Amino acid sequence: MSRKETPFFVGYLPLPRGLGGFVALVSVALVALFAAAALLIGGTQDAPQDAAFRFDYGRQTVTGVVELTPYPLLRVTEGNDLIPPGKTLMMTAAGKSGVDMRAMGLEGKLAQVSGVVLERGTIDMIQLRGGRRGIQAAEGEAPAMQTEPLGRWRLAGEICDGKCLYGAMRPGRGLAHKACANLCIIGDVPPVFVTTQPVEGQDFMLITGPDGTRLPKEAYDFVGQFVTLEGDLERRGDVLVLRLDTPTIALVDG
């Protein structure tokens, strides 16, 4: 052993001759290691989804027919430049809460909603203001709205919470974000299914449980993972709604 040659370090005494160079080298290496790691790890993070709140568009106020899937949708009848009539909006409240309670009494009726939109290529979601300022019954007769059944489909993709996917959080999907997504979905934020390839021109759809129920608890274990699943698909305006057949969810291998 080289014990004889190794200078003996005692913390409260001056650094022994012969150890100074080594300690200085290790110190510099350590700081360099930390600096390099920061640049490499920090500088190679994946780009998050291209989606965001659009506060810059200002507050949007539109009128439409409320549909409960059970997650409430607004089929816009009276819009503006940004949100033309015929558009369908998913709705959410501030934070990790949905607007189910506020929309409940308005099913099939005309309502005026007001809030800020989230954009992910297209505008499909609006975060409503608090209370009745966010959503309230509007005057007039609600026109009948079409729901177009598209048959039973087998799809591959990921269950996300719609709000984070739409840019409320970046990144807003994946397994590191799973608990947050679950928390959103527990709070009745509309869950969405992002598909690997477009379906009827869309790469996402609102996903619900079977027969007009909320996303079942069993599906929570699969949130943020890549799965295949089956369900009945329907079109409501420009938003697709998938009725999940719960037992068909399966993880994609590899």
Cβ at position 25, least distance to other proteins in Å: 10
Question: Of 69-77, 81-89, 129-137, 226-234, which part binds other proteins (CB under 8 A)?
Answer: 226-234
Regarding 167 and contact with other proteins (CB under 8 A), the answer is: yes
For the stretch 197-219, what's the b/e string if a residue is b when 16 or more beta carbons lie within 10 angstroms of its beta carbon? eebeebebbbbbbeeeebbeeeb
Residue pair 98/190 in contact (Cβ under 8 Å)? The answer is yes
Cβ at position 112, least distance to other proteins in Å: 25
Regarding 57 and contact with other proteins (CB under 8 A), the answer is: no
The site string for other proteins over 11-50 (x = CB under 8 A, - otherwise) reads xxx-x---x--xx--xx--xx-xxx-xxxxxxxxxxxxxx
Q: Which residues contact 253 (CB under 8 A, 6 or more apart)?
A: none
Tokens of 153: 């489909």
- Tell me the site size for other proteins, rule CB under 8 A: 85
| Beta strand extents in the chain (DSSP E only) | 52-53, 60-68, 72-78, 88-92, 110-120, 122-128, 135-137, 148-161, 191-199, 202-208, 226-236, 239-244, 250-251
Q: Using DSSP, state whether 21 is helix, strand or coil.
A: helix
Cβ at position 199, least distance to other proteins in Å: 4
Among 99, 223, 244, 249, interactor with other proteins by CB under 8 A:
223
Residue pair 246/210 in contact (Cβ under 8 Å)? The answer is yes
Regarding 3 and contact with other proteins (CB under 8 A), the answer is: yes
| Residues 82-111 within binding reach of other proteins (CB under 8 A) | 94-97
| Residues 116-145 within binding reach of other proteins (CB under 8 A) | none
Cβ at position 247, least distance to other proteins in Å: 14
Q: Using DSSP, state whether 254 is helix, strand or coil.
A: coil
| Residues 189-218 within binding reach of other proteins (CB under 8 A) | 195-199
Cβ at position 118, least distance to other proteins in Å: 11
Regarding 153 and contact with other proteins (CB under 8 A), the answer is: yes
Tokens of 47: 């780009």
